[in-house]
Amino acid sequence: MLSAQDVTDKRPLASSKAAFPPSFASEQTIEALRRILVGHTIADVERHLILDTLAYCLGNRTHAARILGISIRTLRNKLNEYMEAGIPVPEPGQKPPLAA
């Protein structure tokens, strides 16, 4: 239960760095992501993120757009660009291919 002190205390909360020091595993993950992303254009990274999110959503454009934080119209425009460039785009309801 909250006390009057809890509600009226105006001290800033501890920074996230102090409260949650990064673990070795998270530092490795960050470094791995840097190695993957560095050297690629923003357009390439964006395309992979959009297509991977769409595959994760089993082709559901509305759900993918919501996860990505973009409008469904923007997602459709991007997917049309990819299809015109010959890049395969998952159809609605299509499951992602299984890894070999």
- How many domains does the structure of the chain reveal? 1
49 pLDDT higher than 50: yes
> Domain for residue 63, yes or no?
yes
Q: In the block, which residue shows the tokens 């425009």?
A: 77
Query: What value does the mean pLDDT of the chain take?
Result: 78
78 pLDDT higher than 80: yes
Structural tokens at position 60: 């559901």
Could you give the CA distance from residue 95 to residue 98 in angstroms, rounded to a whole number? 9
64: containing domain = 42-88
pLDDT of 77 reads 97
Q: pLDDT > 70: what percent of the chain?
A: 69
Instruction: Tell me the per-residue pLDDT of 56-74, one tens digit each, with 9 for 90 and over.
Output: 999 999 999 999 999 999 9
- Dmax (CA) for the chain in angstroms is 63
Q: Which pLDDT band, with edges at 50, 70 and 90, does 98 fall under?
A: low
> Domain for residue 76, yes or no?
yes
**Which of 48, 98, 56 is CA-nearest to residue 78?**
48
Q: What is the CATH number of the domain that holds 46?
A: 1.10.10.60
Query: What string of DSSP letters covers 28-65?
Result: HHHHHHHHHHTTS-HHHHHHHHHHHHHHHTTT-HHHHH
pTM value is: 0.64
pLDDT of 27 reads 83
